[in-house]
Amino acid sequence: MSSWRVSIQKNSPSSKKAALVLADGTFFVGHGFGKPTKTSGEIVFSTSMVGYPEALTDPSYRGQILTLTYPLVGNYGVPRNDLDHGLPLYFESDRIQPSGLIIHELCTTPYHWASLRTLDQWLLDEGIPGISGVDTRRLTKKLRTHGVMLGLLHVSEEGKESNIDSLLEEVKHIPDPNLTDLVKGVSVEEPVIYKADGDKSVVLVDCGVKSSIIRNFLKRGISVIRVPYNYSAKEILEFKPNGVVVSNGPGDPKKCVDAIRATSEIAERLPVMGICLGNQILTLAMGGDTYKMKFGHRAQNQPALDLNSNRCYITTQNHGYAIDANCFEKTPLKCWFINANDRTVEGVRHRSKPVFAVQWHPEASPGPYDTGFLFDEFARLLEVK
C-alpha cells in the first residue's frame, strides 16, 4: 500500500506591520502581506467559506476592501492562470479586483495539487495590500450594525510601522468610490467575440462580467459578443444577436446611464437577461428604482424564494444595492424572487415580454449550482422567433 506524507508547518506571521482605519475612527493593527502600500475603499465583508481566488477576481469588488469572515484563508494556495476559450479558467477576470484584503489568519504553507504560489505572493505580484491578525468577527459586527463604511489599509515596509494618528486624519478625506464610474474600469474597451458551435448568439453588455457567465453560454452552444458597458442600442443591434445579457459589476447602478438607456430600447425588441448589477439596470431601464443597502449580500448561502412556486434556492450573491420593492406599480415588471432573510427583491420578470433578471449569480463559481437552469431558460427564449 502506498502512503502519503504531508509536511505540516506552523504558519509564521509576516514581519511587515499593517493598520486598518475606518471612517468612524475605529482602527485595527495586524500583520501585513502582499504589497507594502496604502489603499482606500469601501470596507465590505463576505461570509463565504471557500473561493477566495474567485472572489478576489470578481470585478464586482472593484473600489472595495474585502473582508473574509472565514478565519483560515490561503490554505489551498493560488492556481495557475490557465485559459479556456480565451477566458481565465480558475479566475473570474484577469486580475485581483478589490483594492485590499482583510483576513484573520493567513496560511503561508498551502497544500493543493494545483497551487503554484501562496496568497501572499499573489497579492504581492499584483500590487495589492493585505492585513491578517484582524478580529474579523468584530469588524463584521460593526459593519452589520453601522453599515459598510470607507476605510484605509496601510501595509508598512519591513521594519516600519503605520502612523495611526496620521491615518485617522487621512481617512476623513478619502473619496467614496461609489460616486465614480467604477464600471468603466472593469469593462472591455472594444468588442470581444467568443465563438461557440451553435447558431445562436447574445450580446453581453460588460459591466464587469465574471468569466463563468460567458462560459455558461458557450457550453450551451451560444456565441457571446462582449461589448463595452456604454454601447448604444444601435451599436448592440448591429451585431444581430438573438438576445442581450446585462452583466454583474461594481458600484451604483444609477451611474450606468448608457447601459440603462440601451437596455430600455432593447427590451422592446429582444430577449434580455440581467445578472446582479444587470438586475438593477434592467429595473431602472423599465422605470423602477434602486437604493443602497446597509451592508449588502456577499455570501454563498443566500436564500432566494420563487414567488410563483414557493421554492427556495440557495444562491451566491455579491451586491450592495437593491431594487425598491415599492416601484413595480409604475413598471411593466413584476417581482419574481425575494430574499427569504430580509425580503429584498432578488429577481424580476417582464409581464409580457421575454425579459427577466436575477440579483444573484446563477453561474456560482464558487457556490451552489441550484439555479443554472436560468441559463437554459434564457437559451429557450432565444429560440422563439
Q: Please write the tens of the pLDDT for every residue from 262-300.
A: 999 999 999 999 999 999 999 999 999 999 999 999 999
CA distance 116 to 130: 19
Fold match between 17-179 and 182-383? Answer: no
All structural domains of the chain with their residue ranges: 17-179, 182-383
CA distance 341 to 304: 9
- For position 358, what pLDDT does the model report? 98
- Out of 31, 104, 297, 361, pick the active-site residue: 361
pLDDT in tens, 72-86: 999 999 998 888 888
Residue 134 phi/psi, 5-degree rounding, is -90, 140
Closest CA to 320 of 357, 276, 361: 276
Closest CA to 378 of 268, 244, 249: 244
CA distance 18 to 21: 10
Q: Reduce the DSSP state of residue 149 to 3 states and report it.
A: strand
Q: Does the structure show a pLDDT above 50 at 6?
A: no
End-to-end CA distance of the chain: 61
Q: What mean pLDDT do residues 315-320 have?
A: 97
* Residue 114, C-alpha cell as written in the block: 494545483
- Out of 42, 54, 92, 363, pick the active-site residue: 363
Which residue in this structure is represented by grid cell 485581483? 96
- For position 2, what pLDDT does the model report? 32
- Cα 81 vs. chain centroid, distance in angstroms? 19
- Tell me 157's DSSP state: P
- For position 7, what pLDDT does the model report? 30
- For position 89, what pLDDT does the model report? 84
- For position 81, what pLDDT does the model report? 85
* Residue 66, C-alpha cell as written in the block: 474585502
257-266 LR contacts (CB < 8 Å, sep 24+): 258/229, 258/230, 258/231, 258/232, 259/183, 259/205, 259/207, 259/229, 259/230, 260/284, 260/285, 261/232, 261/233, 261/285, 262/205, 262/231, 262/232, 262/233, 262/236, 263/205, 265/233, 266/233, 266/236, 266/237
CA distance 35 to 125: 8
- With contact defined as beta carbons under 8 Å apart, do 131 and 31 qualify? yes
54 has catalytic annotation: no
- Could you give the percent of the chain with pLDDT greater than 90? 90
112 has catalytic annotation: no
- With contact defined as beta carbons under 8 Å apart, do 150 and 23 qualify? yes
pLDDT-based confidence at 14, cuts 50/70/90?
low
In the CATH scheme, what is the code of domain 182-383? 3.40.50.880
- For position 385, what pLDDT does the model report? 54
Q: What mean pLDDT do residues 226-251 have?
A: 98
Q: Does the structure show a pLDDT above 90 at 12?
A: no
Q: Does the structure show a pLDDT above 80 at 138?
A: yes
- For position 86, what pLDDT does the model report? 85
Q: Does the structure show a pLDDT above 90 at 3?
A: no
Could you tell me the fold of the domain covering 17-179?
Glucose Oxidase; domain 1 (3.50.30)
Tell me, yes or no, if the pTM score tops 0.75.
yes
207 has catalytic annotation: no
CA distance 186 to 60: 9
- For position 143, what pLDDT does the model report? 98
Give one DSSP letter per residue of 58-121, joined into a string.
Answer: -GGGTTEEEEE-SSEESTT-EE---EETTEESSSSSSS--SSEEE-SEE-SS---TTEEE-HHH
Residues across the chain: 385
pLDDT in tens, 336-377: 999 999 999 999 999 999 999 999 999 988 889 999 999 999
- Out of 276, 297, 327, 350, pick the active-site residue: 276
* Distances from the Cα of 93 to the Cα of 30, 34, 156, angstroms: 29, 19, 28
Q: Reduce the DSSP state of residue 112 to 3 states and report it.
A: coil
- Tell me 156's DSSP state: P
DSSP alpha helix (H) spans, the chain: 52-56, 119-125, 136-146, 164-170, 211-218, 233-237, 257-266, 277-285, 373-383
Q: What is the mean pLDDT of the chain?
A: 94
Q: Reduce the DSSP state of residue 67 to 3 states and report it.
A: strand
